[in-house]
Structure 1
């Protein structure tokens, strides 16, 4: 049965039909048929970009809007175009107004424009594993690895896997399968969604040798545990909590002379010290202190794509890269392209958000609040506090500014045409601006206006 036949069977008459039950004034008689709409050049072009099923669904929803009186029949084509997603993927771009710079549920670090362009260019055939000069196979992602080494000169070599946990799994499998990993009890962390570091490490075939106590572990505790069965000593940055008071932890420099490799999982991907995060460990400092290997995530403070970084001793890193498991954990060409552009390109959105001037944020909030209030919206600019998130810089508060709206706006904005995710605080919906690029201010304001004018449907 064709679309036209199906619609006729449902009592939706096409042109020239009386429709039986419907009189000439029935709005349903003027709703364009699906086959007619799909011949509209704009919608036909969308079919080429998104696929027929996606476009047909938008067309049918627009037709229903017209039957329900929400739009006039002659606006059905435009309404269908408005309802189309930006891409054929089910993932929807979101404006992150939560005040959490690296929001795990929103994909952590947003890529820079340079990284996005690099991904688009790398989507076709590339020289990811080919030397174009000689025509022979070359080291995979060599330019991205070179960019990583350039950013961390203290590293003898670098390797990239598909996420931070994979980096630690590769190290544990290659260095400690059937052996012991010496680790402080205070660093046996859970990093979210029930994911526990001890479970990860034990899954590699390694045994854990816990030393010290929750709040105090000394270099002597590690030294007493190191023996012939030790694969390596592991230092883990407790990235999503803080222990204060009567505490003690051994520094990497104190452990470097124990005769076994020291592996440091810094977590957040900070490659060098940052003035705004004085207590956050970085790769360069840990390597200079004597770490044989540093593992980290690429989609956190580095501001790049999801990947796991391994930096350290040249022979050790190359042995890990040749391990059979490395093949299963390797990244694709798109990740390599985004990583290199992140490392070599301009400051990332994460770096810009981290460095944002609180006075500038408040000025943006004041301007947006005045503009929205002129449309009759209950809004005011308020001071706010943002955080790093993503398991980075626990306890660090970043002064910020936000738009304060009535609580119902939270759901309306989150489910809008351009989803905006804020946070609820003291019975109000706050849209924190620290993680919102200034270029998105107008999109944010437009989403708020739609949330009001369309009765909660943004």
Structure 2
């Protein structure tokens, strides 16, 4: 009997509104044949490319990608022959959920992107250190040795004026260890203008008080003179603390005491320089560095290793040998110690070639513009709305506030920001005056082609939104 649609229904509705198949028999047969040609899971896992992925990523992750690709084929989204390639495309580069990105924000040390990118030498050192190492063993004598001794020696060589050095797991931990070992149950004298918030809602006063120390605030927000410190120092003083307000600036009617003004007060002067600059840098004349502070009389300097130093996340302690040794032997030091991978990356950062951060800081603006012009010309030839423009980059990571670095960028329509951020190779830019800017100062030249391909890959998504 011929099936007829109900009144008010469609050709796809049966007598009771139920769907009926209207595909011709040959079309249904072709669809069934295509589904039968979808490779079995066990067959796919024998594909050399997917077998290699199992070794790299694990069987569970690869099987999930295979099943997802098979489902796409069953739904008619891809032909059966494309299932292996689709499964491979669905797999991440590593077994970690962290995705590598291209930092085109113009912020050299972007906290949300992990701050300093490691140098090639540091990455190789981490890979070598991933297996068994002599991190706490003297291979000559066969007995236990000081943990990370070669990394600590490299740190001492980088700052020869320091009597000793120690490394913990981040900059805040370095200050916590100093406060716990030197001032628990005592007072820390600090200027009101240096009671900073260090990020993500964490505030320096809360951090220091958590160690059992008491804070003795002196001076005012905008002016603190040496006499303010001298009046506050007494028998209960553990140390005087100087903190570099690295993520903001106070201008106008201001004054602050220098380290040299505080060294005669009879207590140690601890200086938190924050950004990890070990020696003066011509591009950052106002940024404090460890060498200068120690030469001025600081007993101890604390800093981060993943900022201007360009290394892994860690906290650096440099200064008087007796103080550093006391900190290193404090029970808290065990809880704050770094692993062998961090020690390997730190040593390679200190002894190896210039880091990506160092290269970005000293990049020639003319060469940056030449790169931008070349990239823009190639993309424009493909019909993409792009121009090369001058830009201004920043240090970031709580370093060198107010300092801008002349740079160059690709200027694209605003929708490219989201399309690039969610692409197969995520690219992070910034929005400015209604355009998406891809700043090149933090992008290594070797990544220029990857950046261009990411822009080309994002074009269909951008143009699709405009339809």
Under TM normalisation by the shorter chain, which class is it? over 0.9
Are the equivalent residues in 1 in contact too, given 2:226–2:261 (CA < 8 A)? yes
Single out whichever of 202-211 and 58-67 deviates more from structure 2: 58-67
**Which residue matches 2:280?**
273
Comparing 446-455 with 385-394, greater Cα deviation is found at 446-455
Give the corresponding residue for 1:23: 29
Aligned partner of 1:37 in structure 2 is 44
Q: Distance in 2 between matches of 1:284 and 1:456?
A: 53
How far is the alpha carbon of 1:228 from its aligned partner?
0.1
1:221 aligns to what? 228
Which residue pairs with 1:142 in the alignment? 149
SS at match of 2:270: strand
Q: Which of residues 350, 373, 377 is equivalent to 1:370?
A: 377
Name 1:290's counterpart in structure 2. 297
User: Secondary structure in 2 aligned to 1:393?
Assistant: strand
Secondary structure of the equivalent of 1:232?
A: strand
Residue matched to 1:247: 254
Q: Which runs of 5+ in 2 are unaligned?
A: 1-26
2: CA distance between counterparts of 1:103 and 1:71?
39
Shift of 1:39: 1.9
The residue that corresponds to 1:52 in the other structure is 59
Q: Match for 1:90 among 77, 89, 97?
A: 97
Structure 2 counterparts to residues 312-327 of structure 1, below 5 A: 312-327=319-334
The question of 1:163 aligning with 2:174 is answered no
| Contact 1:358–1:401 (CA under 8 A) maintained in structure 2 | yes
After the TM superposition, which of the residue ranges 84-93 and 278-287 deviates more from structure 2?
Answer: 84-93
Contact 1:412–1:456, Cα closer than 8 Å, also in 2: no
Q: Secondary structure at the match of 1:183?
A: strand
Is the 8 Å Cα contact of residues 152 and 283 (structure 1) preserved in structure 2? yes
CA 1:70–1:100: 2 relative to 1, 3 Å? farther
Shift of 1:283: 0.1
CA RMSD of the aligned region, Å? 1.5
Greater mean deviation of Cα atoms: 180-189 or 64-73: 64-73
Match of 2:130 among 119, 123, 130: 123
Deviations 1:86-139 (A, max 9, x none): 110000101000000000000000000000000000000000001111111111
State the TM-score, normalized to the length of structure 2: 0.92
Q: Distance in 2 between matches of 1:265 and 1:196?
A: 14
Secondary structure of the corresponding residue to residue 81 of structure 1:
helix
The correspondence of residues 398-413 of structure 1 with structure 2, limited to 5 A, is: 398-413=405-420
State whether residues 415 and 462 of structure 2, in contact with CA within 8 Å, keep that contact through their aligned partners in structure 1. no
Change (3 A) 1:63 1:456: farther
State the distance in 1 between where 2:120 and 2:78 align. 37
Residues 119 and 251 of structure 1: CA distance in aligned 2, closer, same or farther (over 3 Å): same
Structure 2 match to 1:446: 453
| 1:409–1:456 CA contact under 8 A, matched in 2 | no
2:196 match: 189
- Secondary structure of residue in 1 paired with 2:399: coil
CA deviation vs aligned residue, 1:298-325 (integer Å, no higher than 9, x gap): 0000000000000000111011000000
Deviates further, 369-378 or 68-77: 68-77
1:346 aligns with 2:353: yes
Once residues 87 and 460 of structure 2 are traced to their aligned partners in structure 1, the CA distance between those partners, rounded to angstroms, is: 20
- 1:262 match: 269
SS of the aligned residue for 2:126 comes to helix
| Match status 1:305 vs 2:315 | no
**2:259/2:269 contact within 8 Å kept:** yes
Q: How does 1:98-113 map to 2 (within 5 A)?
A: 98-113=105-120
State the distance in 2 between where 1:454 and 1:258 align.
Answer: 65
CA–CA distance in 1 between the matches of 2:461 and 2:253? 56
CA separation of 1:120/1:376 partners in 2, compared to 1, >3 Å: closer, same or farther? same
Does residue 152 of the first structure (1) align with residue 159 of the second (2)?
A: yes
Of the three residues 336, 351, 360, the one matched with 1:329 is: 336
Distance in 2 of aligned mates of 1:412 and 1:324: 49
Change (3 A) 1:216 1:346: same
Label 1:227 to 1:57 Cα distance change in 2 as closer, same or farther (>3 A).
same
Partner of 1:18: none
Cα distance between partner residues in 1 of 2:220 and 2:236: 22
Shift, 1:81, TM fit: 1.4
| 3-state secondary structure, aligned to 2:206 | helix
Paired positions, count:
438
Match of 2:21 in 1: none
Give the drift of 1:64.
3.6
Q: Distance in 1 between matches of 2:78 and 2:382?
A: 23
Superposed, 1:372-387 pairs within 5 Å as 372-387=379-394
Q: CA deviation at 1:70?
A: 4.5
Q: 50-59 or 390-399, which moves further after superposition? A: 50-59
Report the TM-score, using the length of structure 1 for normalisation. Answer: 0.93
